[in-house]
Amino acid sequence: MLNRRNFALTAAAVGWTGGRQALATPRPGLRPATADQVARAFATPRSQLKVGVIGTGARGWVHLRELLRRDDVAVTALCDIDDWALNYARNLVLKAGRPMPALYTGSPDAWRQLLADGSGGKLDAVLIVTPWELHAPQAIAAMQAGIAVGCEVVAGVTLDDHWQVLRAQQASGVPYMLLENVCYRRDVLAALNMARQNLFGEIVHLEGGYEHDLRPVKFNSGVPGKLYGQGVEFGAKGWSEARWRTDHSVHRNGDLYPSHGIGPCAMQAHINRGNRFVQLTSYASKARGLSAYVKGQNPTHPNNAVRFKLGDVVQTQLACAGGETMLLTHDTSLPRPYSLGFRVQGTQGLWMDVADGIYIEGKSKKHDEWDAASTWFKTYDHPLWRKYGQTAEGSGHGGMDFFVIHAFIEALKRAEPMPIDIYDAVTWSAITPLSEASVTQGSQTVAFPDFTEGHWASRKPIFALDDRY
């Protein structure tokens, strides 16, 4: 099976600053629907959706496969500026025996044409699966065209991006979902299920992170089709994520990828729905891992001269209005087995995912000793996994990639609110620029903006409440 470690692709030349598009650029050719038309379209349940994908790289293929499996979705438009990546996606469609979508390519702005052609109800939704710096302009333009957005993590790069994405969603009324798949991981949902049944008692502290050795992703040979982990090229000479992601490690220092870790913690703590982040503080370690990797792979390569700004381990402490604390870790430049480092801790017990450990006072087998979390999670398997576990088998990231697309499509079809909505998207993603600001200011504490503008107190949780999506 293909995954990011055993397959390669070519990617387009988009540097993280060079590929930046102006958020407020007028969009010629777009026929924005009126707010009324949009409201009507998305308030009416539908049984079929026409969906497009912008960015058919490694992650785009995963989503495309999920869409092609569904008989309630017609994939009608694909866009990528890289021929090889787009052709790969085209072959996935052919193999699935589905009608060929319109293909958009040939210019970094080809996606604008896709949106123009899809406006006026011709496209119901678009998945945005491009480099980070394109997420905000593409999402804003899609919503202005009346096309629902499923956006890969993160929502934008700067704090201003996040406000602009939010304002575009509010002005258009178009549904927007952050495609945060880890919220649907089986153990994460089982822990949420346990918390909802009060097994942990009152939640006091949460931890999570993105702790993933990305060195073989940040560097490669630059030769399309070669395996991940070969070579030390990045930027214009790299392919796939090495082409655009590594530049962020050169120029930025903060938690660059918060949502995999913070999403599940935020759902546990009802952030934006009865609770909110009030402030954060970030600490960044020294940056050694990427340089050591380049030197170890090829001591004479010119990339040995590159100075990486991103601290190898960035830790962010967040304080919540409800009195909970959170610790978020970004750790992508050192050798280490993958773990998102979850910890859910309350007055009655806790779960820590690294050691498969769970402890519930008075209910664990022995006092003050860990039980196997996996045993508890069988008992408390979330209704979604009980219902769809078999369907999700073989889907990406242990099945959770099925659930995130399923949720987006089902909520849209049923004309119901997005389960991971615009407020979740901008709140989780804003941790990046806020943590950068904290690190830049010598780990000063930074106030967290309230994107809900006071509504967090009365909004109610809606995420994964039953077995529908």
CB nearer ligand NAD, residue 2 or residue 306: 2
Q: H-type helices in 289-382, by residue range? A: 289-297, 373-379
Stretch that binds ligand NAD, among 65-73, 239-247, 371-379, 439-447 (CB under 6 A): 239-247
Place of tokens 């979902």: 177
Counting contacts by CB under 6 A, is residue 60 touching ligand NAD?
yes
Q: Minimal distance in Å, beta carbon 77 to ligand NAD?
A: 12
Size of residue set near ligand NAD by CB under 6 A: 30
Q: How far apart are CA 14 and CA 211, in angstroms?
A: 25
Query: Which candidate, 310, 193, 200, 208, places its Cα nearest to that of 263?
Result: 208
User: Per CB under 6 A, does 436 bind ligand NAD?
Assistant: no
Give 149: exposed, middle or buried? Use CB within 10 Å, 0-12, 13-18, 19+: buried
Among 144, 164, 181, 432, indicate the residue that binds ligand NAD (CB under 6 A). Answer: 181
Contact 319, 325 (CB under 8 A): yes
> Which C-beta is closer to ligand NAD: that of 293 or that of 403?
403
Residues 285-344 contacting ligand NAD, CB under 6 A: none
Pair of tokens at residue 51: 């969906």
AA letter at 148: A
> Binder to ligand NAD among 79, 326, 384, 409 (CB under 6 A)?
79
CB of 358 to ligand NAD, least distance (A): 25
Least distance between ligand NAD and beta carbon 385 (Å): 18
For residues 76 and 44, the answer to whether their CB atoms sit within 8 Å is: no
Q: Which residue is nearest to ligand NAD (CB)?
A: 57
Distance CA 207, CA 325 (A): 9
Does 59 contact ligand NAD by CB under 6 A? yes
- The H or E element containing residue 261 is helix 259-269
Whole-angstrom Cα distance, residue 419 to residue 404? 10
In the set 132, 277, 293, 385, which binds ligand NAD (CB under 6 A)? 132
> From the CB of 81, what's the least distance to ligand NAD, in Å?
5
Can you give the binding site for ligand NAD, defined by CB under 6 A? 9, 11-12, 14, 54-60, 79-82, 85, 108, 111, 129-132, 134, 152-153, 181, 240-241, 243, 397
